[in-house]
Every structure is written in C-alpha cells, then in structure tokens.
Structure 1
Amino acid sequence: MNGYLAEPEEKGPYPALLVVHEIFGLDDHPKDVARRFAAQGYVALAPNLFTGPIAETMTPANVQLAMRALAGAPSDLRSNPAKFREFAESQPPERRPVLEALAQVTDPVTQDGFARDLIACREFLQSLPSVNPQRIGAVGFCFGGAVVGRYATVDPTLTAGVIFYGQNPPLDRVPQIRAQLLGQYAGEDPGITQTVPQLAEAMERAGRSFRYQVYPGARHAFFNDTRPNYHAESAALAWNRVIEFFRSTLG
C-alpha cells in the first residue's frame, strides 16, 4: 500500500489524521486535503486503499464510465453485492471490468478489509517521531466516509472520526465504537442522508458521541472542489466545523 504524507513545517509532535479517499482512489483531492490539514498543525496520511488490479481498473475515467452505467440502475444496487455483480455481467464488455471492481470495493466484506488496512496506517503514523501517538483521527469522503465509519468499529484507539456523505457503518457494531464521530451530509443526497438518523439513534442508544450537519442545496461530494458537485459555501462551513471538531478532540 502506498500513500501521501503531509506534515507541518515545524518539529512536532502533532496529532495525526488519516484522510481516506473517494471512490476515485488517491487522486489530487485527498492529497490537497492532507496538505490543508498539515497547514492546520496535523500530520496527515492519505493512504491509497486500492492496490493491484483494482488500482489499475479504478481510474477516474473508468469510474465515471461506471457511474454513467449506474445512472439508470435500481437504487438498491450498491447495497446488494450479488445484485450488483449480476448487473455488471449484463453490461457491455468495455464496462464490465470497472463495474466488477466497483462491486468488489463496495462489498461490505471488502470494506471491512479496508477498515483493517487503516489500522496498519494508524500504526505507521504512530511510529513517526512527528506524531503524538495518543491523538489519532480519521476523515473520509464518500467511499472513504463509509470506510471510516467501519474503521471506528474495529479500532478502539481511534479518538475522532469524520464521515463526509458516507454510508452508515453496520448499526449492530455501533456499541464497539469508542471514537467521537462527526458527520457532514448533503441535503440533495437522499440515498445517504435519509439513513443518518438511524445512525444517530444507534449511537445515542449505545451512549456514543455523534453530531452531524446536513447542508441544504448541496449534492453528494459537495466538498470536492475538483468535481461538478462542489458547493463552495457548504464546503467552507464544513471545513470550519471539521477543524473545530478535531481541535476539541485531538488538540
């Protein structure tokens, strides 16, 4: 696994963050976010969770091709791995490889594996002399937001996590979460946002900390200034809230 590391200019130790990419892999956006966090006094690692054949297939151009193919597909496709694979097999040959890869990386079993990969990334951060090993957080976007939610259920050492428009972690695992969580969601993203109250209720029942905001008029991926759905006003407000959250939880 490779990644992108951004560190503050002055000597630490500093709190550290994992910055988990969207479905497009480790492109310019998570690297830029990592640099922005470094400028705020955090060591930030943006790992590339896609390796081997998946990394070769899940290029931005291929993912866009898959998204166009999925535009008219049933809304529950991504939550049903078997149905997703059947859909991929029904598509023209040029679309099948990326759709099959997309089905694989969004499969809950695979995402649990990605969550475990983040434990190794956290251990790497803790080994750095510039990092305070007791102050580790994570933030993820879209696909990465879903992975961060799952990661919070498997790593009790995580202090704080931010989910940007990612699917909920399995609700039956919520009692395993020890980190404080913050959610940032788009008002025009019903497939994701309408499920958030279920997570909030599960977190409250388990006595866990979860706050979230919904941004009216914003669409999925509103924080990514390299994508068409970028919503500058919502992104700026979300950034301020995320920095405030990490200041209060990590320092």
Structure 2
Amino acid sequence: MTRLTARDFDPQVLQLFDKYVHGQIGRREFIAAAGAGLLATLSPSFAAPLVAADDKRINTRYIEHPSPQGYGTLRGYLALPAKPSGKLPAVLVVHENRGLNPHIEDITRRLALEGFLAFAPDALFPLGGYPGSEDKAREMFGKLNQAKTRADFLAAAQMLDGHEQGNGKIGVVGFCYGGGMANYLATKMPNLDAAVAFYGAQAPAADVPNIRAPLMIHDAENDTRIRNGWPAYETALKEAGKKFEYYVYPGVEHGFNNDTTPRYDEAAAKLAWQRTVDFFRKQLT
C-alpha cells in the first residue's frame, strides 16, 4: 500500500486538520467539513517505530521525580545507550499537545541511539497519563494548568541536568507544543546549553534577553500559524545578540517531522534531524 503524504490532501483540508489538532475547532466541526474518513486517514499510526521499544542497544525505563512548584510529581521516559563509554550529554524531549505518546517515546530512543541521555516527561501524568487515544489526550491536555506544567518541565530539565550519568551539559528539543516549551525553557534556564524547536511558538520578545543557550529553529514553509510569529522573534534575537540557526523547509506542513502521520515529509525530517543531532553534539560534548 502506498503511503499517503501531505501532497495527497487539499491544502484547505490540511489547514482544517491543523486547527483541529490545536483545538481551534472541534471534532464534529472537522468531520462536518472534511468527513470522518479524512480524520482517520490524517490521524497518527504508531505501528512502525523507527527504534523498537525492546532494542537491545539501549536501556529504557519510566521514572518519577518530585516537582514541588508543579503538580508535585512528574513522570517520564528515560532512554540511554546500553553500553555508554562515559558520561553522556543530556537532552530533554518535549512532546506535542497529546502527551507522551508512542511517537515521542520513539524519538527519545532515537536520541539514545545517537549517544544521548534522553528524557521525555509526560505532561498528562497528573491527569492519569497518556490515555492511548490521541483524541482523549488532546481533550485532557486542555485541562492542564499550564503554569504547573511549565514548572514540571523545568523540574524535569534540572533533574536531567544533574543526572549521575550525565556529563553536566543539557539540551532540549520539542515539537509543536514542545517547540514552544523549548523556546520557553531557553528563557528560564541560564544553565541550558542548547535548545531546538520544531515548529513551536516563539518566546515573547521581552524574554529574549534572558536566553543564554544557542537556538536551532525548524519551521515548515506552509505553517503560517507559526511562521507569522518569526519576524518579531528574529528581530528580538538579533537585537539581543543571541546565537541562533533558522531553517524553513520548502513545501512542507506543520508536523513534517512526525513520521506517524501523512504530514510527514521524509526528506525534510531527515535533514532537520541530522542538523539537530549535529547541533547537540557540537553544543553538548
């Protein structure tokens, strides 16, 4: 069976789906406009992870950690090489607005295969954790207290930064919601060594002077919702003398890195991923 891509869908349908994914319209509104079949086709399929959960080259486990300023306790997925040669550079992985789903666990394992100590918290843990349904996860996500959730991610980053198997350097990579969180953490963590945001909301210009870490930003050409915020962010970064790399991937959609949906673009995703890994190796080792 031929795999569908974003090019197989009318751009208006993709725009509707983006609004649905980000809570701007409901499920009924999307189905009324586009149809139930299209919703099923565009929704993620987690059947074929790039790195299997039982891959012997890595070790994985779920851990919990106190988060006094957040929800009290955070939980996430930790992955690292099975036979590390020494202390490891650490990377916090921040999910999209559906919590710690199988795709983000796969991303975390991919980083472990590249030699990183990777940790992906689940923002939905205080509400019972990722429920196994993307629709339910999206609904739950809207019930989170974002101030507490941001505090949980800060606590997770500080925990990872002090991990006994870490080398004392830490980066963060996030996707969509997580891209915005990566930008946010860069304004709050003077000890952050690198931040990578995939199609995420930019930090407010007023907070840019607080950034210490070099940034890498990946955006999709067809993602006007996110790209509209870039000019002001770029101006603020330049005026504050911050180090950043900005890449726009031609002809692709928001979510192009997510290989579980038709919006995935293989060429753009591979290039963005290699740039990300190289950036982390440069900044964290």
Q: Same fold (TM over 0.5)?
A: yes
Give the equivalent residue in structure 2 for 1:238: 272
Tell me the secondary structure at the aligned position of residue 17 of structure 1: strand
1:182-239 Cα offsets, whole Å, 9 max, x none, are 0001111101012212211111111111211011111011001012211111000101
Tell me if 1:36 matches 2:110.
yes
CA distance in 1: counterparts of 2:133 and 2:204, whole angstroms: 28
Letter matched to residue 152 of structure 2: D
Letter matched to residue 118 of structure 1: F
Tell me the secondary structure at the aligned position of residue 23 of structure 1: coil
Shift of 1:61: 2.4
CA distance in 2: counterparts of 1:116 and 1:18, whole angstroms: 14
Shift of 1:52: 2.9
Where does 1:57-96 land on structure 2 (aligned, <5 Å)? Answer: 59-62=133-136
Tell me the secondary structure at the aligned position of residue 218 of structure 1: coil
Tell me if 1:10 matches 2:83.
yes
Q: Percent identity?
A: 39
1:121-158 Cα offsets, whole Å, 9 max, x none, are 1232234321112x100000001111111111111111
Give the equivalent residue in structure 1 for 2:96: 22
Tell me the secondary structure at the aligned position of residue 256 of structure 2: coil
CA distance in 2: counterparts of 1:6 and 1:57, whole angstroms: 21
CA distance in 2: counterparts of 1:28 and 1:170, whole angstroms: 31
CA distance in 2: counterparts of 1:191 and 1:240, whole angstroms: 25
Give the equivalent residue in structure 1 for 2:227: 193
Summarize the Cα distance change of 1:9–1:165 in structure 2 as closer, same or farther, 3 Å threshold. Answer: same
Letter matched to residue 92 of structure 2: L
Summarize the Cα distance change of 1:24–1:56 in structure 2 as closer, same or farther, 3 Å threshold. Answer: closer
Letter matched to residue 205 of structure 2: L
Summarize the Cα distance change of 1:114–1:170 in structure 2 as closer, same or farther, 3 Å threshold. Answer: farther
Give the equivalent residue in structure 1 for 2:165: 130
Give the equivalent residue in structure 1 for 2:244: 210
Give the equivalent residue in structure 1 for 2:190: 156
8 Å Cα contact 1:219-1:229 kept in structure 2: yes
1:65-97 Cα offsets, whole Å, 9 max, x none, are x7xxxxxxxxxxxxxxxxxxxxxxxxxxxxxxx
Out of 239, 254, 262, the residue aligned to residue 220 of structure 1 is 254
Tell me if 1:169 matches 2:169.
no
Shift of 1:111: 4.0
Summarize the Cα distance change of 1:38–1:57 in structure 2 as closer, same or farther, 3 Å threshold. Answer: closer
Tell me the secondary structure at the aligned position of residue 221 of structure 1: coil
8 Å Cα contact 1:116-1:151 kept in structure 2: no
Letter matched to residue 270 of structure 2: A
Alignment size in residue pairs: 211
Shift of 1:56: 6.6
8 Å Cα contact 1:156-1:178 kept in structure 2: yes
Letter matched to residue 111 of structure 2: F
8 Å Cα contact 2:192-2:213 kept in structure 1: yes
- What TM-score do you get using the length of structure 1 for normalisation? 0.78
Shift of 1:4: 0.6
CA distance in 1: counterparts of 2:111 and 2:278, whole angstroms: 12
For structure 1, the residue ranges without an aligned partner over 5 or more in a row are 67-97
CA distance in 1: counterparts of 2:167 and 2:230, whole angstroms: 32
Shift of 1:54: 7.4
CA distance in 1: counterparts of 2:157 and 2:141, whole angstroms: 25
